[in-house]
Homo-oligomer: A and B are copies of this chain.
Amino acid sequence: MGDIYSAKTYGARPIGFGRRLGLVVVDFQRGFIDSRFRMGGSPLVGRAVENTARLLQVARARGVPVASCYVAYPNGRGAPHWKVAAVTEDLIEGSEAAQLDPRTGDPSYDYVFPKPGASAFFATPLASFLTTKGVDTVAVAGCVTSGCVRATVVDSFQYGFRTMLIDDCCGDQEPQPHQDTLRDVGRRYADIVTADEIIRYMMANR
């Protein structure tokens, strides 16, 4: 199926690493992970959390900048027109659903911030944070692949960063939209990589 796209030069150029890597972890918060919340309970997300925890251990030991965001609103104010009822009803600033999963979020190391939209870059200080850290290459982990992860990858690309989506560090509610996302963004905006590839890179550099 990719033949028509390849013939039209989609995916013709890999991106590759630049000079300084940064990691962006999208929405690994209880409301998307724990099964007692309406949007939680996906085993694919659970697997991604565990792979990301492994990745972040190396990142923090090596001094790689990490930004961790979550979705939360003060009483639903400031939210765009979401069609997902649970997002504005359940993800209240200060509530348990807004808390980062302790396996991946570490407020003593990470730059932690809330985000109002889908992309971790939209209406947040993320681009400025990465610039102050000298980052030119962004690898993205998190959930949900076909929603906030994808939007984050597109913005990272648009802001001029070399961008990677870490396949096994991203999870969706079902496998198909995850795969469709890799197909679409891998053709245009980002390299598709694995946790082990990023870990090997971090071990070998700086």
Contacts and interface: CB of A to CB of B under 8 A. Distances in A.
Interface residues of A, number: 73
Interface string A1-39: 100110011111111001100000000000000000011
Contacts of A130: 160
A125 B131 contact: no
A201 interface: no
Interface centre among A85, A116, A122 (most CB of B within 10 A): A122
Nearest to A186: B83
A37 to B, nearest CB: 9
A15 B117 contact: no
Nearest to A181: B184
Interface of A: 1, 4-5, 8-15, 18-19, 38-39, 74, 77-86, 89, 107, 111-113, 116-119, 122-132, 134, 136, 146-147, 150-151, 154-155, 157-163, 173-174, 176-177, 180, 183-184, 186-190
